[in-house]
């Protein structure tokens, strides 16, 4: 049984590893974040909330946004079209921003690497980036149960100004016939969706929806079709932690999605949603303190799936 003391011990354990990580320095605004923040929030399927540490500190959602954009794209285009024609469902073993596999396979390996997420973003309905973003923002607010979630304008502009590798990926995808629509409109939406401010509490709420087969624990409303929630959890387990996904599955053992803003969203089906924030990253772009918190909880409470 999870206790407040256990959460506190998990955060203390995670704090021991922060010094070995660094913030996402390739995005100027993220380089300035205090890397010593660390916190964890757990939302039970009865709606109860337990938290410890820096759970109310805003940070940009980054790649955790790919969960919401994928759900929207599945709703707009259907899973058969999306996973047959646009993206695969296999882990790559390569860094999240790698272009290597596109030269031989064309179609991105999965929707959570940058090439795959940019492709997915192009498949979301909307006449331009603003309309797509308004739909995304409405949906992420609903998933997190927080109407105050907003775009972090400074981070968005910072990412847009320095996102040359993502531009290279997008134009390569367009030339290969994979990316739909206008490249710059797609990229503008992609940079915006990654730059939304959330907290550990917000992503714990979203994770709880996924853990509860798409139903919000507090309202009882179905926000995600159960089949889509199952597909998202499967992809989180196999591809959610970039090229550290296999190691994470071995050491922690449940579906999770990370972002270079320092967040990790974890969904334990039929049990709880977890949100972690720790902006000090390991060499693969995952929160180093956040992973240690989840390792601690998995070990102490036998949370894993295997």
**Crossing angle for the helix pair 183-194 and 153-162, nearest 10 degrees?**
140
Structure tokens at 54: 């820096």
DSSP state of 83: I
Give kind and range of the element (H or E) at residue 197: strand 197-198
* Residue matched to tokens 């390792």: 295
Our measurement of the distance from residue 252's CA atom to the centroid of its chain's CA atoms, rounded to an integer in Å, reads 17
Q: What is the C-alpha separation between 236 and 290, in angstroms, rounded?
A: 16
Burial-class residue 52 by CB neighbours within 10 Å (0-12, 13-18, 19+): buried
Q: Is 222 helix (H, G, I), strand (E, B) or coil?
A: strand
Catalytic residues: 63, 66, 190, 242, 260
């Amino acid at each position: 049984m999870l206790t407040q003391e256990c959460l506190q011990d998990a955060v203390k354990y995670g704090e021991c590893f922060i010094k070995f990580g660094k913030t996402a320095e390739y995005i100027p605004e993220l380089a300035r974040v205090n890397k010593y923040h660390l916190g964890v929030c757990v939302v039970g399927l009865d709606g109860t909330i337990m938290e410890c540490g820096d759970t109310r500190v805003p940070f940009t959602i980054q790649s955790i946004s790919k969960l919401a954009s994928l759900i929207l794209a599945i709703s707009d285009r259907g899973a058969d079209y999306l996973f047959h024609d646009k993206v695969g469902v296999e882990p790559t073993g390569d860094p999240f921003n790698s272009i290597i596999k596109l030269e031989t396979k064309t179609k991105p390996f999965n929707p959570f690497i940058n090439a795959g997420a940019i492709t997915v973003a192009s498949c979301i309905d909307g006449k331009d980036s603003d309309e797509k973003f308004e739909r995304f923002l409405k949906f992420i607010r609903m998933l997190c149960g927080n109407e105050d979630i907003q775009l972090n304008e400074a981070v968005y502009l910072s990412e847009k100004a320095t996102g040359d590798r993502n531009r290279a990926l997008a134009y390569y995808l367009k030339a290969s016939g994979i990316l739909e629509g206008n490249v710059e409109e797609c990229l503008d939406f992609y940079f915006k969706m990654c730059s939304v401010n959330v907290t550990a509490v917000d992503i714990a709420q979203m994770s709880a929806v996924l853990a509860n087969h798409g139903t919000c624990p507090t309202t009882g409303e179905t926000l995600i079709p159960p089949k889509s929630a199952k597909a998202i959890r499967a992809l989180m387990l196999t591809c959610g932690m970039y090229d550290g996904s296999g190691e994470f599955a071995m050491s922690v053992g449940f579906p999770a999605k990370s972002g270079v803003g320092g967040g990790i969203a974890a969904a334990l089906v039929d049990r709880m949603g977890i949100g972690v924030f720790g902006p000090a990253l390991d060499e693969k772009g995952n929160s180093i303190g956040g992973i240690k918190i989840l390792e601690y909880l998995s070990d102490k409470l036998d949370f894993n799936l295997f």
